Structure 1
Amino acid sequence: MPETARPADTPLHLSVTCPDEETARLLGRRALSARLVACANILPGLSSLYWWQGTLCEDSEAILSFKTLERHRPALTALIAQGHPYDLPAITWTEVGMSDELADWVRTETSD
């Protein structure tokens, strides 16, 4: 199903699972340094069960989530894919509602 176009200033919550907190921290710092995100949150200790190449797997991971804008999603996705150790990083995003003040902060901190 084709994705619906969103305005460039639409706030997004983008997340990716990482093999460990160190990887999440490295990717978070890279995204912040590139001004693609206003905030990176790391939640360690995630238990993941999933199918991979025909095998049922169970691993400990960390989840890395970002507050960003639609206009930064392509570059942020590329940054994650380039620096992520997984063959297929599980990058997901969701349009989110937020207060006007928070949305303004995200826009300010990710300005070009």
Structure 2
Amino acid sequence: MMLHVTTTCPDLDSARSLARAALDARLAACANIKPGLVSLFHWQGRIEEEAEVQLVLKTSDLRRAGLVALIEAQHPYDVPVITWDAVATTQAAADWLLAETL
């Protein structure tokens, strides 16, 4: 099983920085960065609208807690929203993921 851990970042540089830190620490096997996201959200009593970059990190359940801790420690937001979903994948992809995150 593969997990997709997702967060949003204020810009491409911060998403790249988080991705590289996760990859360097072997907490993720792959990072996908998607610029061009527009987010609307409640913040401090107002509805805000901001351009953001989505970061999706592919990891295993064994590495999820460490990856979430890394994101929380290095993220530029006061309250980064971090979610994760289990996704089905091929056996070859699952094997690759485990080999790259051990």
Structure 2: where are the runs of 5+ without partners? Answer: none
TM-score where L is the length of structure 2 = 0.97
| Residue of structure 1 equivalent to 2:5 | 14
> What pairs up with 1:8-87 in 2 under 5 angstroms?
10-87=1-78
RMSD: 0.7
Structure 1: where are the runs of 5+ without partners? Answer: 1-9
| Residue of structure 2 equivalent to 1:5 | none
* Percent of aligned pairs with the same amino acid: 51
Count of matched residue positions in the alignment of Structure 1 and Structure 2: 102
2:71 matched to 1:107? Answer: no
- Structure 1 residue 11: Cα displacement: 1.6
TM-score where L is the length of structure 1 = 0.89
CA distance in 1, matches of 2:63, 2:2: 10
